Amino acid sequence: MDYHNLPKEELIKNFETDPKVGLSKQKVTQLREKFGPNNLQEKKKKSNIQRFFDQFKDVMIIILIIAAIVSFAIVCVEKNWGELFEPGLILLIVILNAIMGVVQESKAEKALDALKNMSAPHARVIRDGEEKVIDASELVPGDIIKLEAGDFVPADARLLHSVSLKSEESALTGESVPSEKDSEAIVPSDAPLGDRNNMIFSGCSITYGTATAVVTGTGMNTEMGKIANLLAGETESQTPLQKKLAQLGKYLGIVALAACAIIFIVGIIGGADPIHLFMTAVSLAVSAIPEGLPAIVTIVLSIGVQRMVKRNALIRRLPAVETLGSASVICSDKTGTLTQNRMTLVKAYAEGDESDTDLSEAKGNEKIAQLLRYGTLCCDGSVVFENDKETHIGDPTETAIVLAAHKWGFPKDELNKTYPRLAELPFDSDRKLMTTINSIDGKNVVIVKGAFDMMMNRCVSGDLDKARKITETMSENALRVLAIAYKIIDKVPQEPTSEELENGLTFMGLVGMIDPPRPEAKVAVETCRKAGIKPVMITGDHVVTASAIARELGILLEGDMAITGAQLDAMSDEELDNQVENISVYARVSPENKIRIVKAWQKKGQVVSMTGDGVNDAPALKAADIGCAMGITGTDVAKGAADMTLTDDNFATIVEAVREGRGIYANIKKVVGFLLGTNIGEVVAVFVAMLIWGVSPLLSMQLLWINLVTDSLPAIALGMEPVEADVMDHKPKPKDEGIFANGLGIRIVLQGLMFGVLTLVAYWLGSKWTGTAEGGQTMAFMTLSLSQVIQSFNMRSDHSLFKIGVFSNKNLNWAVLASLALVLLVLFTPLNIAFSLIILPWELYLISLGLVLIPTVLMELSKAIGIIKHNK
């Protein structure tokens, strides 16, 4: 029901209540049974056990578990308990991976908790004719509640009576200043949330005045409850990287199973031992699955998270790092995100001047100095300075005047002492004026401050036509304009009235203020455009204000559209899909509008980032591919729903985050290419060797050592490669672009074939030279593991190693030394017995080292002749 559109009398009749008596105890009980407690419902969360078992749904993990079970079964059949090391190692890897996943998810889904905490704990209510304080959860629709400045609003309510009431609703509507409320207003039924000035909303706060209201909605039936429903309904979708790795796991699983099937068929036809075939299948499965890939990608993302923390961006979910690097559209809230969330006085006009003046250029203008002094004397707001920190107390439009006067050398405290206040008429939304009487130089001076349209007819002196035109110009530039006038009276009245004080005034001037853009936001927007990212402003503020800020920042360009939430509601989904790329500003929007905008962009195949700080941003933050909340001004709800929090509330930080995201994704591609090159080489070597010689050149334990121990450290170091300087000079990669795009997949296959051939050559030479399979396996192990370690240098860049500096990545240098030590450990210590390795003749070690250097020679040649190109 549109409660804001009903007369108060009809509303009271509908709720069967009485403004003076309130509800009866019996009626409250009936209504509580019908509507339930005034609480937000919580979505049931997964237990840690459920999260743990969810980790085992990945195809790669399932294949590893099957491999471990098969290996364990063979150990039990043959009663060779010394071989338990192999299945035990596989299962340990799987369990550690699952635990890591649970830890990552344990802090998720805090948005609804934060919403509950925002609910007011107590409420002043009239029941059975008595005023009492009760828990807010006990409120029911029809309750009569009383509110004053400083109170949280405990439920949605329609005003019955109000005096100078203002409500802080920026978290819900995006308005940068408190909303003025009027209990007598009848608002159109289709009015957006921010224009329903006869309503107050749960979770907001009263900043000025007093009110009596009737509760119209509790719990999930409040505007806050609707947002909670939206949050509960929005599922967290997988990021592009998660989808690609899951797809990769399926492909590798199919390859492993197909290879196993072929080996089995060939083996059975050849009369091979089934137990031997099972062990070979385990080896193939282990060789095909990059066991370390999920963990290493997680570590690389974690390193990226640490880098981003240093740049004031806090990541909630690791894969969000990569997604941010893919962002092609940034939908940003205006208030507090692109702007400073602080009204600032920027223009002033004094009666008699030619035109309005930028305040920064008006120093020395005595008339404007007098305007600021009088304006400050007529303000209740104040600005407190402590340890170089400004604290604004009271109405933002008043604190803007007070701060401007302070900067001109007129601190409010000193003005109040010099020119004491003798009487006042508080602001109210009917008059839209505030009046004080101050003793100035022995005279009783009435100072009136308020809206020009209300002031104009009360003035008897001044060029009001000129002032009206300047007011209109300021308003067109999205400035909030206040007029200041005065008169001198002989005697201070005992009971001041508006009729007596606010007439016969001398017009003094105008002040214009705005919530200004962050200085760094314009540069950030420009960088976004250079990087092929479309910035979009989404705000609850008025379209004129939003458009002016967007134009100044470079978001609203020539030919772009700025529309309101009402215009958006009038659009069909098809119309929005056709127009969405041309719309750069959305004003006066609802939470549902924000989700619709995000999803319209997502239909275009774009990776959408949503930044914001208010409760009203939370559902869209969650629906977006990546949500970025503000850390200082941001609500807990926004932070809980977002993937990333900007700890300095600086829009420019998002540019650095995008840069890091792009760099990290490039590094992940290097890591994936590095690890898969090994896996393909292993599959080729095992598969071909089984077909030719009927024996595997590498045992599963040896493969695990290469995949998990030898390769892991260089892979992590590759993930720490510095971000390339030109990463923000090109467009984001398309949403549907595979991880193997731009020739990476072909290169990985070719590199895998190269490693496979080198391993087979090494095995053949070793087995021929020593006359044993162990000799061949030892030489194959040494060649493959060492060539992979050296390959990590080749994977650093598409540029020549000698151009970027062979040893310029210090982390990689240390990782390579550690990996070499680990290879030598199993080759030349008693550990070689556990790995079925033997000591080779010195000639074979020299030949193996020669084979190890072949990949570097081939990679440098391919870079030199342009087979490998640097992709921008």
Average pLDDT of span 555-564:
93
Angle at 501 between CA 497 and CA 507, to 5 degrees: 150
Kindly write down the DSSP assignment for every residue of 127-179, as one continuous string. ETTEEEEEEGGG--TT-EEEEETTPBP-SEEEEEEEEEEEEE-HHHH--SSPE
pLDDT band at 250 (very low <50, low <70, confident <90, very high): confident
Q: Which of 333, 515, 541, 643 is catalytic?
A: 333
Q: Can you give the pLDDT at residue 492?
A: 93
As a whole number of angstroms, the distance between CA 259 and CA 264 comes to 9
As a whole number of angstroms, the distance between CA 801 and CA 68 comes to 40
Task: Quickly count: other Cβ atoms within 10 Å of residue 802's Cβ.
Answer: 9
Which segment, 384-398, 571-585, 588-602, is predicted with the most confidence on average? Answer: 571-585
Q: Can you give the pLDDT at residue 295?
A: 64
Whether residue 636 has pLDDT greater than 80: no
Q: Can you give the pLDDT at residue 433?
A: 92
Q: Can you give the pLDDT at residue 447?
A: 97
Element (H, E) at 206: strand 205-217
Task: Quickly count: other Cβ atoms within 10 Å of residue 103's Cβ.
Answer: 11
Q: Can you give the pLDDT at residue 114?
A: 45
Q: Can you give the pLDDT at residue 617?
A: 73
Exposed e or buried b for every residue in 622-648, given b needs 16+ CB within 10 A? Answer: bbbbbbbbbbebbbbbbbbbbbbbbbe
690-738 pLDDT, tens digit per residue, is: 888 878 888 877 877 887 667 778 888 888 888 877 788 888 887 677 7
Whether residue 400 has pLDDT greater than 90: yes
Whether residue 83 has pLDDT greater than 70: no
Question: Is residue 333 flagged as an active site residue?
Answer: yes
pLDDT band at 443 (very low <50, low <70, confident <90, very high): very high
648-672 pLDDT, tens digit per residue, is: 777 788 888 888 888 888 888 888 8
Whether residue 456 has pLDDT greater than 90: yes
Average pLDDT of span 748-759:
92
Residue 355, both tokens: 């035109």
Element (H, E) at 119: none
Whether residue 18 has pLDDT greater than 50: yes
Q: Can you give the pLDDT at residue 762?
A: 95
788-834 pLDDT, tens digit per residue, is: 888 888 888 877 777 777 888 888 999 999 999 999 999 999 988 87
Whether residue 118 has pLDDT greater than 80: no
Whether residue 107 has pLDDT greater than 50: no
Region of residue 496 (phi > 0: left; psi between -120 and 50: alpha; otherwise: beta): beta
Q: Which residue has the tokens 């070690």?
A: 845
Which of 37-51, 766-780, 855-869 shows the lowest mean pLDDT across its residues? 37-51
Q: Could you tell me which residue, 60 or 173, shows the higher pLDDT?
A: 173
Whether residue 329 has pLDDT greater than 50: yes
Q: Global pTM? A: 0.67
The percentage of residues in the chain with a pLDDT greater than 70, rounded to a whole number, is 87
Task: Quickly count: other Cβ atoms within 10 Å of residue 253's Cβ.
Answer: 21
As a whole number of angstroms, the distance between CA 346 and CA 395 comes to 17
Residue type, 631: G
483 contacts: CB under 8 Å, gap ≥ 6? 449, 450, 451, 452, 455, 456, 467, 471, 507, 509, 510
Average pLDDT of span 282-291:
67
